[in-house]
């Protein structure tokens, strides 16, 4: 099993280049981030080359304070597309493999239409080697977020009929909202572009909580998934917390 350090949460107290080096030293196979835009892309590319770690993905910006993405917000199309342009340019400069297009707080048919239109725009602007990801967020952490369930995400992906638009399957969000993580993942695997995880319900390291990640990781491996899984959790007791879970929950290490 391979793991990617999500640097939006892990080593978040360090400048991004130092966080990438820390992830390499800790034994991660890849990195991913949320909003790297305050760090010059050349600096990030240099440290990725230095460490040999791939950058799996990054997010479009949230927008104004209190917002959580723009792509499904009616009336914010210009801002949403500026955010997409920013993400595409940055991802291309650092060689990131994916962009999470954040939907934002919105509801209804007009939000659905705006999201589809902005995803079409993103697909037209992004190079073919950059995957576009959409991610349902759970109702407890993000009440009012447009994209709520994996079924809704699947319907959007099927309606678009565009290559390289895929589901970000976050075991934490699915566990909080839908449950039955392994069955859901098995069903959705053909449209999954990235898998993330954290303990349920506290979003901590995967060594505690309601979900047995030893079992989940073994099932994911059994499905033939070989790409790094994203460790997007909030560490306790420091910048990275205790990383023994990587050894304890994965018999291949």
Among all residues, which ones are annotated catalytic? 135, 232
- Please enumerate in sequence order all residues whose Cβ is within 8 A of that of 229, keeping only pairs 6 or more positions apart, or say none: 1, 2, 3, 4, 195, 196, 197, 217, 220
Read off the DSSP letter of residue 106. -
Using the structure block, give the residue that is written with the tokens 């391979």: 2
Exposure string (b/e) for 147-166, b if CB count within 10 Å is 16 or more?
bbbbeebbebbeebeeebbb
Query: Which residue, among 37, 35, 54, has the nearest Cα to 95 in the 3D structure?
Result: 54
Q: E-strand spans in 28-87?
A: 30-32, 58-59
Torsion of CA 218, 220, 224, 226, to 10 degrees: -100
Structure tokens at 180: 């039955």
Q: Determine phi and psi for 69, rounding to 5 degrees.
A: 110, 165
């Amino acid at each position: 099993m391979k793991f990617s350090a999500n640097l939006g949460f892990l080593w978040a107290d360090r400048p991004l280049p130092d966080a990438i080096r820390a992830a390499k030293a800790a034994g991660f196979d890849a990195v991913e981030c949320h909003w790297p835009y305050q760090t010059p892309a050349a600096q990030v590319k240099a440290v990725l080359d230095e460490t040999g770690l791939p950058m799996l993905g990054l997010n479009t910006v949230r927008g104004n304070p209190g917002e959580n993405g723009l792509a499904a917000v009616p009336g914010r199309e210009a801002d949403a597309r500026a955010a997409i342009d920013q993400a595409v340019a940055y991802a291309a400069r650092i060689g990131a493999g994916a962009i999470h297009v954040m939907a934002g707080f919105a509801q209804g048919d007009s939000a659905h239409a705006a999201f589809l239109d902005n995803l079409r725009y993103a697909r037209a602007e992004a190079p073919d080697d950059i995957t576009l990801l959409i991610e349902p967020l759970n109702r407890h952490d993000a009440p009012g977020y447009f994209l709520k369930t994996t079924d809704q995400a699947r319907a959007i992906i099927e309606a678009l009929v565009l290559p390289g638009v895929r589901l970000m399957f976050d075991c934490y969000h699915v566990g909080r909202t839908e449950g039955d993580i392994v069955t859901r993942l098995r069903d959705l695997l053909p449209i999954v572009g990235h898998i993330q995880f954290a303990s349920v319900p506290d979003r901590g390291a995967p060594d505690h909580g309601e979900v047995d990640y030893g079992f989940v990781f073994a099932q994911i491996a059994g499905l033939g998934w070989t790409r790094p899984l994203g460790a997007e959790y909030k560490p306790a007791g420091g910048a990275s917390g205790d990383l023994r879970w990587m050894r304890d929950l994965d018999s291949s290490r």
